[in-house]
Amino acid sequence: MPLLTLSTDIGQQDFIVGAVKGQLLSAIPNLTIADITHYLPRENFAHAAYICKNAFAYYPENTFHIILLNVFDTPSTHFVLSKYKNQFIICPNNGIITMMAGEIPKDSIVLPIINAHTLIQITEQLTNVIQKLIKTNSIENLGTTGLVIEEKYMMKPIVSDNWMQAQILFIDNFENAVVNVSFEEFERERKGRNFKIVFKRNETVSMISKNYADVTEGQYLAWFNSAGYLEVAVNKGKAAELFGLENYKDKMLESGIAPENKLFYTTVRIFFE
């Protein structure tokens, strides 16, 4: 039984999500559809990539994933189809696939979108592609390899011998700040040394907690979350509100420059001793 996930920025106050599911189920009656989210942040591709990448990792091989993010930000004349980690990802050609994969996946093609002016017209064509994929389990002959796939990449922490400067990817629903440093990156740069995590000029943490319960209520902490990323949090509190922390916005990700008066509120610094 084929399995497909939907990740969109549409929300759930309109009929569109239901209509897309209806299209898919009418064409593929035995399809199972799982919702990842319908609230992908249009203004923060790093956050959107974080959600999709870490959710997709828990699905079985040959799962189909449709991402509908900023579909009409530019003329939607083609989508991208990639076979990545033995799963099929279909998304707009706007850089989200490289944000997730860190590169253009080797098995990637461009899907021409012909005479489609609405999302429903686009997803009708994507549904036809999925029908063919179910039959062949191959992306060959489904699209074009000659067109350019847009690339956009997650900003990496700035690293020196004794420090790292990382960026806040996003603020979650509990107002914890998720930072673009993985556990592996942290340990590689740490080299067994003591450390001090600094945010908002002079607030510091010098230990990694296992989870929120490691500290008393109202105390702040740093830990590596379920996705393996550094997170600054307050036990039963709101770290972002308390410390004025903010997302390192997409425009900053692209330019690498943050307004000086916002630097301490959008970045986290780690010093090694």
Is-contact 6 126, C-beta < 8 A?
no
Contacts of 93 (CB under 8 A, 6+ apart): 78, 79, 80, 110, 147, 149, 150
pLDDT for residue 183? 96
CA distance 252 to 255: 5
Could you give the residue ranges of the DSSP H alpha helices within the chain? 16-27, 45-56, 96-101, 119-136, 183-190, 239-243, 250-255, 263-266
Neighbours of 107 (CB within 10 A): 14
Q: Which residues pair with 204 in a beta bridge?
A: 198
pLDDT tens digit string along 143-153? 887 779 999 99
β 158-159/163-171 pair status: antiparallel
pLDDT tens, residue order, the chain (273 aa): 899 999 999 999 999 999 999 999 999 999 999 999 999 998 889 999 999 999 999 999 999 999 999 999 877 789 999 999 999 999 999 999 999 999 999 999 999 999 899 999 999 999 999 999 999 999 988 988 777 999 999 888 999 999 999 999 999 999 999 999 999 999 999 999 999 999 876 788 999 999 999 999 999 999 999 999 999 999 999 988 888 888 876 444 444 444 444 555 788 999 999
Q: Which residue, 151, 244, 162, 243, is CA-closest to 203?
A: 243
Q: Give residue 251's Cα distance to chain centre.
A: 16
Contacts of 3 (CB under 8 A, 6+ apart): 31, 32, 34, 59, 60, 62, 63, 64
List of domains in the chain: 3-136 (3.40.50.10790), 158-272 (2.40.30.90)
Grouping H, G, I as helix, E, B as strand and the rest as coil, residue 151 is coil
CA distance 91 to 40: 13
